[in-house]
Structure 1
């Protein structure tokens, strides 16, 4: 079967690989439709291996070369002997985290912090950018007719965005600043709107990304290269600042702007992944009683909630997709384009199967 395989940094090959040999009793065999290229995938391609293990993973035994893909929708084509929650032919979205279930964090429902966590498409014997992949039954959630295959491939990044907003303590009627309008920032804006934000501000230096958010018609979009974002936000909120902020840029400037824009006793969540250390002013946290919280992935049980919100029409996740590309073009048309600082690509999906939706 054809698959996109990571071998080393700047070495991803679309090649023929052996299909899955067996389906365990609690596993399902899937035929992926669409798969997103995630920021984690980009980091692996540009700087890796980072997350992808070079020695057998402690939980799964997987190691490079690794089939990419952890944001995907698929159809069920075969069931393990003990599988009961899905049927052959079901369309599903995949929650890619694989956890031990027995460590300190898993036993407390914090499976996303599992000490030996693995991930489909990064540290598992398969991934979503392949014609077939085996996953655990507990990883799949059935998509209702109201959710398309494209939307199903966006449940994973949507869950990241939702968790980042939720961790601020956001409530209906709150004001929010989102720094960074990449895919997660854009989804954070859409989620905040669905959750009842009274006012949404988005700060983004890239003109293409600003245009995308402006097209949503739900946010006031700021250009930090020519505007003093905290000053503008305070001026537009009666001198107070926003109730909460989600920092989605993974950049020092975005973090500083978020901390300076939030009101006293407000909360900032760090959602974007920083690839280098950043600095903060701890005294400012104390003087203004600000809370800064980190976020990692999402609750593993959140798929049905996110799917239901998408199905309602209130969370149109498909709006963040700028293009769907063929798997054979994933390097030049996918990874290289997304890493181009002057590029116009936002969120790219890879068409793995033949889904028309």
Structure 2
């Protein structure tokens, strides 16, 4: 079968590989339908390997070259003897976090925090950018009839955005700053709007990206951190110039993180989602005197898929607005990865339409 495999930095190939031949009792064979190109995939391609490795994953045995794709929907083709929640012909959305369930974090339904974590499409033998894949039963979530395959491929990044908003501890009527208007920043903005956040500010240096977000028409205030003092502006339009109730940092920039510190009110919350590639200079004294809560946000609760389905179904969480294009597997590098990484690109999400 054909598969999109990452071999190393800037080395992405469409390879002919052996298809899945052994199905465990609790495993599911699927045919991917749509697969999103994630920021993590882009980072691997442009800067990696980071999440992938030449050494075998201790849990899954996966090693480079790696079949990419962890945001995808699929059709079930076959199931193991012990599988009861899905059947051949079902449409599913893939929850890609995998790991042992008998260690400290696995017993708490947080396997992705454990030392032997594995992710479909990054550290699992199979991924969504292939004609076939094997995943565990727990990772195949049946799609409701009124949720499309395209929406199914967007559940995973949507869950990241929703979880970030949850971690921000905001309530209807609150105010929120988001730094970085990539896919996750856009998803966080959509989730915040669905949650009833009254005032949403987005800081983004890329003018084309700001226009892209403006065209989504979701009622946010867009700011350019290169030409304005974002924190001062935000404080100036919040009650008593105190600042926003919370901030979500999605760019992976130390400067943006410090902007969040300046922009939130005392006892505000800052959620760090963007992955920073190195150390940054911060001032923890300010965290203390403002009595701030600083939180990381990794992934999402593994049980969040039905909630995302409900949010999509309500019409108040139009995640399809982040999609810029659909490309074929054969053109995934040129029309997918390269297009998203092009200097000044405004694109948020490109879906790979997998062959039938």
User: Under a length normalisation based on structure 2, what TM-score does the superposition of the two structures give?
Assistant: 0.96
Corresponding position of 1:10: 10
Counterparts of 2:196 and 2:143, CA distance in 1? 24
SS in 2 for 1:154: helix
Alignment of 1:67-82 (within 5 A): 67-82=67-82
Contact 2:4–2:329 (8 Å) recurs in 1:
yes
Corresponding position of 1:157: 157
Corresponding position of 1:301: 303
Deviation at 1:144, TM superposition (A): 1.2
- 1:233 equivalenced with 2:261 (yes/no): no
Corresponding position of 1:180: 180
Flag as ranges the 4+ runs of structure 1 deviating above 4 A: none
| CA RMSD, 1 decimal | 1.2
- 1:281 equivalenced with 2:283 (yes/no): yes
Corresponding position of 2:92: 92
Contact 2:31–2:76 (8 Å) recurs in 1:
yes
Question: Which of the numbers 269, 272, 275 marks the counterpart of 2:274?
Answer: 272
- 1:123 equivalenced with 2:123 (yes/no): yes
SS in 2 for 1:301: coil
Counterparts of 2:3 and 2:109, CA distance in 1? 34
Structure 1: state its 5+ residue gaps: none
Corresponding position of 2:333: 331
Corresponding position of 1:220: 221
Corresponding position of 1:321: 323
SS in 2 for 1:157: helix
Task: Using the TM superposition, name which of 190-199 and 168-177 deviates more.
Answer: 168-177
Structure 2: state its 5+ residue gaps: none
Deviation at 1:112, TM superposition (A): 2.7
Counterparts of 1:151 and 1:26, CA distance in 2? 26
- 1:60 equivalenced with 2:79 (yes/no): no
SS in 2 for 1:273: coil
Contact 2:3–2:15 (8 Å) recurs in 1:
yes
Contact 1:72–1:93 (8 Å) recurs in 2:
yes
User: Under a length normalisation based on structure 1, what TM-score does the superposition of the two structures give?
Assistant: 0.96
Number of residue pairs matched?
Answer: 354
Q: Residues 127-158 of structure 1: CA distance to partner in whole angstroms, max 9, x if unpaired?
A: 00001101000001111122111111011111
Deviation at 1:207, TM superposition (A): 1.6
Deviation at 1:216, TM superposition (A): 2.7
SS in 1 for 2:337: helix
Contact 1:98–1:120 (8 Å) recurs in 2:
yes
